[in-house]
Structure 1
Amino acid sequence: MKVSINTAVFLDEMNAGHSQYDVLQQLIGKPIDNVEVRGEFFKDESREAELDKISDLAVKNGWGLYYSIPETLFNDGELNSNLDHYIAMAKKYGIRNLKISLGDYGALTSDSLKLINEIPTNDVTISVENEPNAHGEVPRIFNFLDSIDGHLGYTFDSGNWYWIDQDPQAAMDQLQSFITIFHLKNIKDQDTTMLDDGDTDWQKLTNKVPHRVPVFLEYNIPTAQQLDSEIAKVNQLLQSTGD
């Protein structure tokens, strides 16, 4: 198993106007397993055409393709009405997983649990992510995941805990068994850093991730040399643990 890459590592370049298809070219030949693109960096008028090219690029390079939806699964207790659209999009372009923030799910009634269990996940998995706000606190995430009996996955974002004054190591201990995707980053003073420069013992945290769960780098990495270094660090750890 090798590290995976979220296009957030190219944040500077995307903010300067480069497309996600453009920046993904830089990953060709690198020792990675998957790539995750971000919905907020597509232009509405060119999303489909760009996704088509990205899908082909992923197939040619043997990458699994993942997609981050910049929305929440629930809004004031109501299920996101755009979900069917995203699932259809994922099937069309060979996307393996759709990641979406959990949001405010309100009360988990029998009716709401029925709606969740009716979300189709045979062709594409869906994972919810802990947000850097009250909706992402450990008890709310745990309650939701424990109630849905594995129908949806869970993306553990190791950095978001710092915005709600919660310890990522403690959160990992409570949520470890639910994790299906791991977003790895390090934080200092509520800003992302290179892995060795933040407040998290990232190696200890990553070692607790369940076996074979993909580990994505998801933070701005300014230079190609730094990207190669971060990839090498994580791959060394994954290989040393037998993944």
Structure 2
Amino acid sequence: MNVSINTAVFLHNIEAGESQLDCLKRLSGSSIDNIEVRGEMFDDDTKDEELKRINLLCADNDWKFFYSVPEQLFNTNEINSNLKSHLEMADKYHIDHLKISLGNMSQITENQLVDLKRLLDQHTVKVTIENQPNDDGIVDVVQKSLAKLKNFDIPLGYTYDAGNWYWVFETPTDAFNHVKNYISVFHLKDIKRKQTVMLDDGATDWRTIVKQLKDDTPIFLEYDIPDNMLQNQIDLVNELINDSVVEV
């Protein structure tokens, strides 16, 4: 298994005017397993064509296609009304995984969960929810929400974001120990003074966490990385995943 790439690693390039497609082309032939694009980084005028071409790029490189939806699934007493259109988009462009923030499900009813399950079961795309850097993302709330969804047999995975815990005054390691049995996708980043930094430059004990993941859990780099450092960060994680000696 190899590390995967979220297009957040190209933030500086995209802010300079490059498309996610152009950035991803640079990864052709790289030792990565999957790519994840970000919905908020598309231009509405070119999004359709870009998604078509990213799908072809994934096929050419044998990558799985992940998509990050910049919304939350639960809005206190409502389920995101855009979910159906996101699922249909995934079908259209052969997207394998959708990720969406958890949100607040404190007043979601059993009937609403039954409807959610029915909708998700109609589509082949796998959907995961992610912990957020706000009050809805503290570990106690996330753990209880995941347990409730599992109890109702809702076909949702869980994307663990290693960085978001710092904004709710939790430590990634402690949070991991509470939710590790639910994790199906892992977003890796290191944080120092609430800023993302290169791996090993921050406070996150990322090696200990990564070594406890299930062998088939996709691990995404999800932080802005200078062009001349990207291969180093890829190699660092791949060496750990594959039990090689990691040089520091």
CA distance in 2, matches of 1:124, 1:28: 24
Aligned to 2:99: 99
Aligned to 1:187: 191
- The one-letter amino acid of 1:43's match is D
Contact 1:8 1:220 in 2 (8 A): yes
| 1:188-227 correspondence runs (5 A) | 188-223=192-227, 225-227=228-230
Deviation of the 1:188 alpha carbon? 0.2
Aligned to 2:137: 136
After superposition, the CA RMSD in angstroms is 1.2
Q: Cα deviations across residues 1-39 of structure 1 (Å, max 9, x unaligned)?
A: 100000000000001111000100110111000000000
Aligned to 2:240: 237
Q: Cα deviations across residues 59-106 of structure 1 (Å, max 9, x unaligned)?
A: 011111000000010123210011111111111111111000011112
Aligned to 2:166: 162
Aligned to 2:124: 123
Q: Percent identity?
A: 45
| 1:63-82 correspondence runs (5 A) | 63-82=63-82
- The one-letter amino acid of 1:208's match is Q
- The one-letter amino acid of 1:16's match is A
CA distance in 1, matches of 2:38, 2:13: 14
Aligned to 2:231: 228
Query: TM-score w.r.t. structure 2 length?
Result: 0.94
Aligned to 1:32: 32
Three-state SS of the structure 2 residue aligned to 1:220 is: coil
Aligned to 2:59: 59
Deviation of the 1:196 alpha carbon? 1.1
CA distance in 2, matches of 1:94, 1:195: 32
Matched residue count: 240
CA distance in 1, matches of 2:134, 2:224: 21
Unaligned runs of 5+ in 2: none
- The one-letter amino acid of 1:230's match is Q
Three-state SS of the structure 1 residue aligned to 2:119 is: coil
Unaligned runs of 5+ in 1: none
- The one-letter amino acid of 1:237's match is L
- The one-letter amino acid of 1:20's match is Q
Query: TM-score w.r.t. structure 1 length?
Result: 0.95
